[in-house]
Amino acid sequence: MNLTSKEYMEYLVLAAKKIDDNGNYITSLDAITGDGDHYTNMQLGFSKLTENADEFALLSLSECFRKIGMTLMSAIGGSSGALYGSAYISASKVLMDKETIDTPLLLEILSTMLDAIKKRGDADVGMKTMIDALAPAVDVFRDGLTAGIDSSSLFEAVKQAADNGAQSTKDMEAVKGRAYYQANKGVGHIDPGAMTMAYQIETLMDYISEL
Amino acid sequence: MKKIINEPANVVPDTLEGLALSDPTLVYSKGFEVISRKERREKVGLVSGGGSGHEPAHAGYVGKGMLDAAVAGNVFASPGPEGILEGINMANNGKGVLLVIKNYSGDIMNFDMAKELAEMDGIEVESVIVKDDVAVPDSTYSTGRRGIAGTIFVHKLAGAKAEMGGSLAEVKDVALKTIENIRSIGMSMSSCILPAVGKPGFTIEDNEMEVGMGIHGEPGVERTAIRPSKELAEILVSKILEDYDYIGSEVALMVNGLGGTALMELYILNKDVHELLESKNVKVYKTLVGNYMTSMEMAGCSITLLKLDDELKELLDFPCETPALKL
């Protein structure tokens, strides 16, 4: 598995579509625990990436990730924009002078993104946020890679971990963000930010499995 | 959804362009969604901002004696750091910039990022966080108390201090003192509709109200049958007085409409709040009644009290001239 900016942008176009296809579902989740705008804001950000995909595909990986970060930051806005922006900008530093992303480097990127999101959001696992989809995916990725399991099983396991992680937010009490204001802290409902994070990881794993 | 709009995706730029056309002293930075003052003079710059949908907050408070720049995000979503950085640049006249941030996760992250960027450019930036909504318990671990209509008093008093020539530290101190002495609580009777979503975010029965609801429709503390204005005044004022002692003090009072409630009703509530405060030995020094911090077309109101001393009174009485507040 080797990704350049071109493949990474192809993946993001697919992720944009995945988010778009599930727009009504995401909005319905956010209407319960937030203020109903998570999908529309994510859509603004990811459609900007789709528009710029051909242009960004020509950049070095590091510059490509930096541009993705800046785009998401200004187009999504809100918490998600700041968090995805910070994630991609941190990852762009890891990618300095790298020409392709292989499997170990992809793990390092996801792990760097997780750290950046935790730091920017002053949040951790178990607070009913996007971290609850990303963190278990990174853990499973690391364990699988260390254990040396084959690529297709590894990618499938990471994908499952992200989805299970998003589903697990259903029972969690929110600590950060708007769901915190709910009388029951959003218990009983999946966090929309965790769901859209899981969609991205799922799409990425499916995409690299096909390469 | 019935709204006077064009493309839902363009509501923010269309709003700001319309506002700028209504006031020749303002400049609109398109693409950054910043409204700032045309006239630049050597003083501390005051910048605020946040999600759109709360008009006239915050762009309506840009002008003499209040903000130097306001940054607008998408509806109910914080602006990104690039826009905020533009706001800082437009407000920076060499004496430093103070950011007035409402306490929401997204706003804090984005303003912090913009502050870091501005500092790299050599601009001195300080920030304060407004958390006046007593419907939510204060907390350092969680997101904690929200910032709502009390923010307008922070703009007013810190803005006056800046206009009078105060240093960045002095302007920040005034903002912190105002925040310390301010409490608010809201009440909602209907949902608002996000232009990009097209349908109400929640439902509330015709005969119901929700006490303590946030300005983005965040749940309140109690959903109950609608009450006469006198009883509503009692409910809201007692929530504030439980949280902070205003008895025996002079206060500034704001009776704020959320956008969908007639001024007639706000005046009725104001009468009842005044009578109630008088009976509790809280002296109202100044009153503002109007739509200052809204949730688009949401029906409802909020009450804000600010405890005053001589310093804050002088700042409150200092003239200001903005599209939404002229004193």
Q: Flag whether pLDDT at A125 surpasses 90.
A: yes
pLDDT score, position B199:
86
Do the chains contact at A82 and B218, CB–CB below 8 Å?
A: no
Q: Which domain covers residue A36, as residue numbers? A: 5-210
Instruction: Name the segment(s) of chain B with CATH classification 3.40.50.10440.
Output: 8-180
Q: How many CA atoms lie within 13 A of B212 on its CB side?
A: 18
pLDDT score, position B324:
98
**Other Cβ atoms closer than 10 A to A99:** 10
Instruction: Name the segment(s) of chain B with CATH classification 3.30.1180.20.
Output: 182-316
In whole angstroms, give the CA distance from residue A78 to residue A71.
13
Chain A interface with B: residues with Cβ < 8 Å: 27, 31, 35-37, 40-41, 44, 70, 73-83, 85-86, 120-121, 175-178, 180-183
CATH number at residue A102: 1.25.40.340
Query: What ipTM was predicted for this assembly?
Result: 0.72
Task: For chain B, list residues with pLDDT below 70.
Answer: 140-142
Task: Give B-chain residues touching A76 at CB under 8 angstroms.
Answer: 77, 80
pLDDT score, position A35:
74
In whole angstroms, give the CA distance from residue B116 to residue B122.
10
Q: Flag whether pLDDT at A47 surpasses 70.
A: yes
DSSP 8-state assignment for residue B80? P
Average pLDDT, integer, range A68-74 = 92
Among the partner-chain residues B51, B82, B105, the one whose CB lies closest to the CB of A74 is B82
Tell me the one-letter amino acid at A104: P
pLDDT score, position A180:
77
pLDDT score, position B140:
67
pLDDT score, position A175:
87
A81-122 pLDDT, tens digit per residue, is 999 999 999 999 999 999 999 999 999 999 999 999 999 999
For testing the chain A interface, which of B108, B197, B204 should be mutated: the one with the most A CBs within 10 Å? Answer: B197
Whether the upstream peptide bond of residue B56 has omega within 30° of 0, thus cis, is: yes
pLDDT score, position A164:
98
Q: What is the largest CA-CA distance in chain A?
A: 49
Q: What pTM was estimated for this model as a whole?
A: 0.86
Structurally, chain A folds into a number of domains equal to 1
In whole angstroms, give the CA distance from residue A116 to residue B73.
22
- Whether B247 and chain A come into contact, CB under 8 Å, resolves to no
Q: Where are the alpha helices (DSSP H) in B71-199?
A: 81-91, 105-120, 151-163, 168-180
Average pLDDT, integer, range A133-162 = 98
Do the chains contact at B110 and A178, CB–CB below 8 Å?
A: no
**CATH architecture of the domain with range B8-180:** 3-Layer(aba) Sandwich (3.40)
CA angle A189, A86, A168 (to 5 degrees): 20
DSSP 8-state assignment for residue B147? P
**Residue A6 tokens, joined:** 């071109």
Among the partner-chain residues B76, B146, B202, the one whose CB lies closest to the CB of A37 is B76
**Other Cβ atoms closer than 10 A to A116:** 21
In whole angstroms, give the CA distance from residue B131 to residue B143.
10
Do the chains contact at B201 and A31, CB–CB below 8 Å?
A: yes
Looking at CATH, the fold of the domain delimited by B182-316 is given as: Hypothetical Protein Tm841; Chain: A;domain 3 (3.30.1180)
